[in-house]
Structure 1
Amino acid sequence: MILSIVTLCLLYIGADGQESPKVVPFTSLVKTVIGSKTSFTCQSLTGSSPLEIIWFKDGKKLFDSPTIKIRTNEDGSMLIITSISSMHSGNYTCSISNPYGQDSFTTELLVEGAPNWIEKPQDTKIQLHETLKLQCSSSGYPKPKVIWKKFKDSSWTNFSSDYLSGSNLKQFDDELIITNVSRDLNGRYGCSVSNGIEPDLWSEFNVVIEGINISQR
């Protein structure tokens, strides 16, 4: 074990005796309770001063905020989440660099919680035969499931290709794409989001198809 550590350290020592950083792996907390507190500690196994330590979440640089605090000194850096919500789920990366090199480590934080809106579908007007794109995206863990609905005959029913005439429907995790839209699409729609943890999300919107059928000219 001691021999392995010595060998690893030697690999990060340059020809001039200066060392590049090597981040010590840190563990993630899985299924963290909403409202609680958690932290990550990032340190370098090797590395000559000065060391620059930067935190990222899902590839975006992190700064102090009402719920995230970053405390850095010569020994390392600690990222503290003071009040966990489902929005904090994601990949956290600690990057350490100095003039002789750079290293990083990434861990995933999964927070069980009800869905939260990222983007709601909006009332939409579109020309006949064009392509309609609708977005219904949210965060949350477990991963939320999206169900599209249409209001018909005084009730909400699951939306499917049965409602379409001459249009093509593609549904992804949180996006609905309909090409060559027809007048059959006119109406009121809903987007239901759930992941087994209440409350679920629901949003309603209107789709209006404008223009004249070429065959009717």
Structure 2
Amino acid sequence: RTQVQCVVQAGDPPLTLQWLKDDLKISSDLGIQISIDDYSSTLAIGRVGSEHAGEYTCIASNPAKSTKLTSRLIVSVPPKWRVEPKDVNTTREGVAMFECVAEGFPTPTTTWKKVIGQSPNEYQDLDVGRLGYLLFGNGTLIIKPALPEHQGQYLCEASNGIGSGISSTVTLVVNNPPDFEMSSSQESVRRGQTQVLVCEAKGDHP
């Protein structure tokens, strides 16, 4: 809960007091309560949310003059997911993309780590810019080309100093595409005889 008071120190009545948010009339959807008496006005917000951040201007006027005072309300918001990362299946030398997009105020910082052991908290920072790892400003991780050594679990963390932050663990599976042991061969058979042709491929199931 927060409130701000606008008090007129001098001026002849009748006085008119009004509030603006970001230079616009305050919407009733914001749930803001405004009380006014002869020489002051109080703006109160019962449950502060990110939508309440902005500049609030109190305007006092009478037939002789109009004056105003502006205050900025900064609302710190802990991170929450805009796009939570999901597991990815791709083929060897393909592209794997993990979207990990968080929002909040201040803007959250996103980091990626790879799980390297069986015990909790065994992570390794990604060598972004090398080994096929590319990280974008919004938290999206791209692995290109995806190789068998990239397979495993990854941890995405988002934090902005408000609260404990959020995290999500995802799995990357890199499948080997079908491939033939032998590209082609030639078989001879007499007319009327039966010949069995064998086609063997290697790769991951199914």
With normalisation by structure 1, the TM-score equals 0.50
Q: 2:80 aligns with which of 98, 105, 116?
A: 116
Q: Distance in 1 between matches of 2:20 and 2:105?
A: 23
Q: Match for 1:172: what amino acid?
A: G
SS at match of 1:115: strand
Larger Rg: 2
Q: Distance in 2 between matches of 1:174 and 1:194?
A: 12
> What is the CA deviation profile of residues 176-205 of structure 1, one whole-angstrom value per residue up to 9, with x for unaligned ones?
122221111110111111111212111111
Q: Which residue of 2 aligns with 1:41?
A: 20
Q: Distance in 1 between matches of 2:161 and 2:22?
A: 37
1:118-197 alignment runs, 5 A limit: 118-154=82-118, 155-161=122-128, 164=131, 167=132, 169-197=134-162
> What is the CA deviation profile of residues 11-61 of structure 1, one whole-angstrom value per residue up to 9, with x for unaligned ones?
xxxxxxxxxxxxxxxxxxxxxxxx5468x62699xxxxxxxx899xxxxxx
Question: Which structure's residues are more often helix, by fraction?
Answer: 1
Q: 2:166 aligns with which of 201, 205, 215?
A: 201
Q: Distance in 1 between matches of 2:22 and 2:99?
A: 40
> Root-mean-square deviation (CA), in Å?
4.0
SS at match of 1:111: coil
Q: Distance in 2 between matches of 1:109 and 1:136?
A: 29
Q: Distance in 1 between matches of 2:92 and 2:52?
A: 40
Q: Match for 2:51: what amino acid?
A: H
120 and 215 in structure 1: CA distance in 2 versus 1, 3 angstrom threshold: farther
Shift of 1:143: 1.6
Alignment check: 8 A CA contact 1:114 1:195 kept? yes
SS at match of 1:88: helix
Q: Distance in 2 between matches of 1:133 and 1:112?
A: 30
Shift of 1:90: 7.0
